[in-house]
């Protein structure tokens, strides 16, 4: 096994009440020698009111649909992980609590930590298969550039300077956090990935999933959204959907 030379913070975002999922996390992480800790997730369903970052009317107008309470809570939870990355000032591995590790996972992470100049943010899981360009060989995998939006936020590795950019660009919350991570025109960051992905999802039903499959925004609603986004680009110093 390759030995990592750099310190690493490992955070697992999980609701306190998700006892079964936390037990599965503990079993899964017994496969590796990393120190880790739970980061108590923000329970969106328990929020008395939307956070200051969320403007319901503007979201409905510019996004075309409202976020669910638990999408908001999930985003806020990842934002807390980014804040911890900045505060600790070390690379941070962020998990949601529905992950499964591949046999090569720890070797891949150690390879990344031994070549920190090669990356700033690395996706370790993706929901959608997208083409990619290979960049650097790793232990049993490659560091790549995805040529499409893989989506998903179950596992990723990031550095403090990237975490700070994500925090700065999250003053407004108006899209699911995994969509935001792919929103390069907003945050200006180019992320890499490891392929094959060293992390998969467990496919266990989530305790915070309150979103059914969304129908595409179309018709009059889509035209209104397009006009609203055009006005926002023209008038706002930091438009939500820059060209």
Determine contact, residues 192/121, Cβ cutoff 8 Å. yes
List, for residues 22-59, the tens digit of each pLDDT value: 999 999 999 999 999 999 999 999 999 999 999 999 99
Tens-place pLDDT, residues 196-222: 999 999 865 555 455 556 788 999 999
Does pTM surpass 0.85?
yes
How does strand 132-138 pair with strand 141-146?
antiparallel
Spatial CA neighbour of 232 closest among 61, 50, 48, 47: 61
CB 134 within 8 A of CB 197: no
CA 153 – CA 45 distance, rounded (Å): 20
The pLDDT of residue 212 is: 59
CA dist., res. 131 & res. 45, Å (int):
36
Residues of the chain with pLDDT under 50: 1, 208
CB 11 within 8 Å of CB 77: no
Q: Which of 84, 107, 207, 94 is nearest to 157 (CA)?
A: 94
Query: What pLDDT, on the 0 to 100 scale, is given for residue 140?
Result: 86
């Amino acid at each position: 096994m390759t030995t990592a030379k750099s310190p690493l913070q490992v955070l697992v975002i999980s609701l306190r009440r998700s006892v079964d999922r936390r037990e599965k996390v503990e079993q899964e992480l017994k496969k590796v020698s990393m120190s880790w800790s739970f980061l108590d997730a923000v329970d969106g369903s328990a929020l008395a009111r939307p956070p200051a970052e969320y403007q319901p009317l503007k979201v409905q107008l510019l996004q075309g649909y409202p976020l669910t309470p638990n999408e908001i809570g999930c985003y806020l939870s990842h934002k807390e992980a980014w804040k911890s990355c900045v505060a600790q000032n070390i690379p941070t591995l962020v998990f949601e609590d529905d992950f499964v590790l591949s046999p090569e996972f720890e070797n891949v992470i150690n390879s990344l930590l031994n070549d920190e100049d090669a990356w700033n943010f690395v996706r370790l899981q993706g929901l959608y298969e997208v083409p990619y360009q290979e960049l650097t060989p790793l232990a049993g995998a490659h560091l790549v550039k995805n040529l499409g939006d893989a989506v998903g936020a179950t596992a990723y590795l990031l550095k403090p300077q990237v975490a700070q950019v994500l925090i700065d660009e999250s003053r407004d919350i108006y899209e699911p956090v995994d969509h935001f991570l792919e929103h390069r025109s907003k945050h200006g960051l180019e992320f890499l990935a490891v392929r094959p992905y060293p992390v998969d999802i467990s496919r266990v039903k989530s305790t915070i999933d309150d979103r059914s499959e969304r129908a595409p925004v179309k018709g009059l609603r889509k035209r209104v959204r397009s006009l609203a986004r055009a006005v926002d680009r023209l008038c706002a110093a930091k438009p939500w959907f820059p060209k």
